[in-house]
């Protein structure tokens, strides 16, 4: 395992959150819209998100494959799950969530990719190679992932808070990754 890849996790997560914060501040957040719908509302925001994801996702992938998985001796399934998720987010980043078939394709890739956080988080929950703090964090994150997805797909009222549910979902997964890295 090569230590040069370790900082890529923090770097990619930081860039992601700075970009999302900029996007939401500049283009007035609406709690009923997804992050992708905010990005698709402006050509400038769409290209910014696409370019950032094109840079960030390979960095995060390298961090996961070259440092995170070997360091914590995670099973190949974790790598496959996170790889498919990253690929799906990359595709979704370049297909705008506007209307019609583009929106359908975007949402299939984006929500499919987000759903893959659940098996990845479950694998971390079951790992004996992470700290107790990371293990507790993984249980909390897994509970949030399951509850938020369940609410979103079964309760119409939850869609009114799409941005908050989605933001929390991504943020907590990132917190879990960082907690796992920095509490070991």
Task: For the beta carbon of residue 76, count every other beta carbon within 10 angstroms.
Answer: 8
| DSSP secondary structure, 15-80, as one string | HHHHHHHHHHHHT---TTS-HHHHHHTSHHHHHHHHHHHHHHHHHHHHIIIIIIHHHHT--HHHHH
pLDDT values of the chain reduced to their tens digit, one per residue, 184 residues: 589 999 999 999 999 999 988 887 887 778 888 888 877 888 888 888 889 999 999 999 999 999 999 999 999 999 999 999 999 999 998 988 888 888 899 889 999 999 999 999 999 999 999 999 999 999 999 999 999 999 988 998 888 888 888 989 999 999 999 999 999 8
- In angstroms and rounded to an integer, the radius of gyration of the C-alpha atoms of the chain is 16
Would you kindly state where each structural domain of the chain is located, as residue ranges? 3-182
Q: Give the span between the Cα atoms of 111 and 118, in whole angstroms.
A: 12
Model pTM score: 0.92
Q: Helix axis angle, 117-126 relative to 76-94, nearest 10°?
A: 150
Contacts of 48 (CB under 8 A, 6+ apart): 19, 22, 23, 39
Residue pair 104/160 in contact by the 8 Å Cβ criterion: no
How far, in Å, are 29, 152, 171 from residue 163 at the CA level?
8, 11, 12
Q: What is the pLDDT of residue 99?
A: 81
Write down the pLDDT at residue 1.
57
Token pair listed for 30 = 């609406």
């Amino acid at each position: 395992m090569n230590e040069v890849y370790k900082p890529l996790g923090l770097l990619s997560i930081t860039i992601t959150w700075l970009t999302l914060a900029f996007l939401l501040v500049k283009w007035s957040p609406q709690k009923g819209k997804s992050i992708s719908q905010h990005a698709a509302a402006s050509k400038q925001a769409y290209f910014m998100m696409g370019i950032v994801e094109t840079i960030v996702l390979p960095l995060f992938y390298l961090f996961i494959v070259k440092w995170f998985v070997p360091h914590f001796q995670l099973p190949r399934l974790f790598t496959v799950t996170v790889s498919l998720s990253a690929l799906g987010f990359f595709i979704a980043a370049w297909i705008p969530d506007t209307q019609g078939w583009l929106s359908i394709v975007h949402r299939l890739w984006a929500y499919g990719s987000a759903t893959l956080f659940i098996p990845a988080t479950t694998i971390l929950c079951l790992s004996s190679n992470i700290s107790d703090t990371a293990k507790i964090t993984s249980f909390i994150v897994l509970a949030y992932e399951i509850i938020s997805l369940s609410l979103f797909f079964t309760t119409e009222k939850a869609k009114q808070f799409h941005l908050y549910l989605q933001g929390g979902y991504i943020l907590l997964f990132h917190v879990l990754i960082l907690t796992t890295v920095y509490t070991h």
